[in-house]
Structure formats: C-alpha cells, structure tokens
Amino acid sequence: MAYADTDLDLRDKRILITGASRGIGYAIAERLSLAGARTALAGRKIESLEEAAAQITSAGGGDTLILPANVSHPEDARALVPRVIEAWGGIDVLINNAGSNPAFGPIVDLEEWAWDKTLATNLKGPFLLSQSAGKWMSQNGGGAIINISSVGGLDPSVMLGAYSVSKAGIIMLTKVLAAELGPAGVRVNCIAPGLVETRFANHLVSTPEIHDPLVARAALRRHGQPAEISGAAHYLASDASSFMTGQVMVIDGGVRY
C-alpha cells in the first residue's frame, strides 16, 4: 500500500478531546481541527471552552462542539461520548487528555482526598470514557483511542506520587484496551510527554531547582511546548498509524534516550 499526505487528512473525523481548553489539549484540538476533523472540546469551564473554540475558528479550523464536563465525576464522564454521537452520529477518535495533580509532596503525607481526586481525573475518567467509546467503535467499524500519560508513568516522580501512579495506570489501561479491542479494529495508543510548558506544569517549569536538573538531563537541553505534543496525536488519530496499537510514544526531549 502506498502512503501519501492524505493519510494524515482527518477530514470529517469526529474527535472528542478532554481537557481541551488549554495546554496540550488545546494544541491537539487546534491541530486536528486544522487537519479537517470535527472536534468536540470537553472541559470544566464553559467560558474557557468558548474561548478555545473561537481561537480554533479564527485559526481556520473546522466544526467544534463545546461540552462542559468534569471527567472526575462519573456521570459527566459517562455522558460525553453519547453527546458526541448524538450530535454527529458517531465518534472516530477519543483523546483522554484531562489531568489533575492537586498536591505536591511525599506520598506518605498525601491526604486521601488528593489521592482520590488524582485517580478520579487521571484514570477513572479515561476508563469510563474508553468503555463508552470502545463499545461504540467496536460495533461500528473501529476507531482510535489516544491516552495522554506522562514520563511520570514510566519512572517515579518524587513528590508527585499519586500523579505517577495514575499515569502508570493509564499506560496499562492503554495496553489492556489495545489487546481487547484490536480484533474489532479499535487502536489504542498512549503519549507520554516529558516536561512541557503549560499552566498545569507551571510549578515545575518556573522553579529553577526543579526545572534546571530536569532540563540538564534532556538531550535537547530544554523543556517542550504543547504544539510539540500535538503532532504525535495527529499521527495516532490518522490512518498513517493504522498498524500501531498498544504503544507508548515518549516525547521528552531525550531524557529517556
């Protein structure tokens, strides 16, 4: 089979992205929309989603759908995929990007509420969304699920224990889903970014004693930008990755070379 640029064309693909109002989620949404996709933007604050949708339209993107939701709430997570299907007749790609890390410190001192919130957003939400999307895709010719993990899911992140555990969990969720849904034509892959400059990672980026040692370990000697993660999501959402499933793409500037 010969491949061309058309393999990266996402025209008319129906894509749901959680945590889409800013950071990596927004960068992914904008890139995929510019490639022709219809993008459903999910996030907690409707004002932020409206601003993101306006920015995508201004950049020349396609149709957007605004879906206010908190994926840490099971009722919200369960409702998102059906809302996309109702609006557009189906869903082709699910991108589980929303993340939370409400506490920084030793895991032995972590309060139970912080553990619960982190796991609810970073792991249970994607689990419920993947159940819903995976069932529909399995019965309707296939699709793709893309989970956003972290290098913290591959190596322990000191002082970010619950976050690391949740991101390790989503890597295994990716592999289990890939094995179970592959025969039905559903591909499930994972992206593990390193340090990326977002509001979510502001404390890590803006604190020299944390930032500088991390950057010193990277072959590129710098942290990343959200747009530098969006290309991997574009590839995984497209037909160019048609023979890839169950994999973790590490994008960290060369820390784990």
Domains, in order of start, for the chain: 9-194+227-251 (3.40.50.720)
What is residue 211's predicted lDDT score, i.e. its pLDDT? 84
The pLDDT confidence band at residue 231, using thresholds 50, 70 and 90, is very high
φ, ψ for residue 97 (rounded to 5)?
Answer: -115, -25
What is residue 212's predicted lDDT score, i.e. its pLDDT? 84
What is residue 4's predicted lDDT score, i.e. its pLDDT? 54
Q: Which residues are the active-site residues?
A: 163
Instruction: Report the pLDDT averaged over residues 11-34.
Output: 97
**Edge-first strand listing for the sheet containing 38-43:** 64-68, 38-43, 14-18, 93-96, 143-148, 186-193, 248-251
Instruction: Report the pLDDT averaged over residues 145-167.
Output: 95
pLDDT of 176 > 80? The answer is yes
**Token pair of 174 as six digits:** 């990716």
What is residue 204's predicted lDDT score, i.e. its pLDDT? 77
DSSP state of 69: -
**Gap between the Cα atoms of 14 and 16, Å rounded:** 7
Residues 49 and 21: beta-carbon distance below 8 Å: yes
What is residue 1's predicted lDDT score, i.e. its pLDDT? 43
Instruction: Report the pLDDT averaged over residues 167-175.
Output: 98
Helix (H) or strand (E) run with residue 43 in it: strand 38-43
**Token pair of 36 as six digits:** 């022709």
Measuring CA to CA, how many Å separate 19 from each of 27, 53, 111, 139, 203?
11, 13, 24, 27, 19
pLDDT of 3 > 60? The answer is no
Instruction: Report the pLDDT averaged over residues 227-246.
Output: 98
Angle of the 23-34 helix axis to the 227-237 helix axis, nearest 10: 50
- How much is the mean pLDDT over the chain? 94
Gyration radius of the chain over CA positions: 17
Q: Which of 10-14, 44-48, 78-82, 214-218 has the lowest mean pLDDT?
A: 214-218
Query: What is the percent of the chain with per-residue pLDDT over 90, rounded to a whole number?
Result: 86
**Token pair of 236 as six digits:** 């995984």
Question: CA-based angle 52:56:57, to the nearest 5?
Answer: 115
Which residue, 200, 174, 21, 161, is CA-closest to 94?
174
